[in-house]
Amino acid sequence: MQRTNNPLVMSLALFLVIAFLAGCQIEATPRENLLTTEALTTPTEAIRPSSTQLEQKASTPAPTLSQQVPATPTPQPDTTPEVWDYPASHYIYPVYGHEQTYELGCEASAAVDWANFFGLSIYEYSFQTALPLSDNPDFGFVGEVTTDAWGQIPPYAYGVHARPIADLLQAYGLPAKAVTGYSIDQVKQKLSEDKPIIVWVIGNMEYSNPVSYKDSQGRISIVAPYEHVVILTGYNETHLRYLNNGRFYEIPTEIFENSWSVLGNMAVIHE
């Protein structure tokens, strides 16, 4: 090739060489910087916590249960009205009774008739003499069953209330339960299940004024003259049927309730 000594050509050539070398230098700088950045941001270096961070995390207490779970709301009382499923009318058959033996023995007489319906035979005398004695009818029999007259209130001859009767029936093996404040709906429900009920009323289904009585130990009982006991055995929409001294009677429901309420709707039920 023929060599040229033209200054213009030589200057152009020199310029091209310098430009080439400068371009290489410019390109190398960002490449080098890129490699350096990658080396600093590798996954193992970027997310690995320091020993100080690990110690701080370990010393941080876990959240308590109260922080994680909201407090349990206070349960609200169930105000749903009770639904009754008894029929409009129901009578229990067969139920047998007898005339009470003693003037003040209506509770024992009714109790043994009630027990007989559920298949347990008890002598009235045996049941009467097994009752505890007390000057408070809530705890035992008040008076002398063979000689005292009916119609008085404690501390004179009176009789006995539901709990001692239920307790003795339980001792004989029957699932008897004394209740107060029982309702007509509860009565009809129980009778519809063929379970007669012993109830405390006033004689002849009348009304008498209840009296607050304090016994010798300072205990209070509600008593009333002519306290009496019968067995409910059926009902319809307007009347209740009851067994008294071996005979059956029917009475308007409101008249029964008036008499039954005197001693607080007291009863012995099969429960």
Q: pLDDT of 188-200, one tens digit each?
A: 999 999 999 999 9
Reply yes or no on whether the pLDDT at 90 is more than 90.
yes
Model confidence, pTM: 0.71
Fold of 90-270: Cathepsin B; Chain A (3.90.70)
Q: Whole-angstrom Cα distance, residue 214 to residue 136?
A: 8
Q: If you average pLDDT over every residue of the chain, what do you get? A: 81
Residues in Cβ contact with 255 at an 8 Å cutoff, skipping those fewer than 6 apart = 205
In single-letter form, the type of residue at position 150 comes to W
* pLDDT for residue 186 is more than 50: yes
With a cut of 90, say whether residue 57 has pLDDT above it. no
Average pLDDT over residues 98-121: 97
Cα gap 145→49, rounded to integer Å = 94
CB atoms within 10 A of CB 168: 22
Which pLDDT score, from 0 to 100, does residue 6 have? 55
Q: Which residues contact 130 (CB under 8 A, 6 or more apart)?
A: 168, 171
Whether pLDDT at 43 is above 80: no
The domain segmentation of the chain, as residue ranges, is: 8-43, 90-270
Q: What is the pLDDT of residues 129-185, one digit of tens each?
A: 999 999 999 999 999 998 888 999 999 999 999 999 999 999 999 999 999 999 999
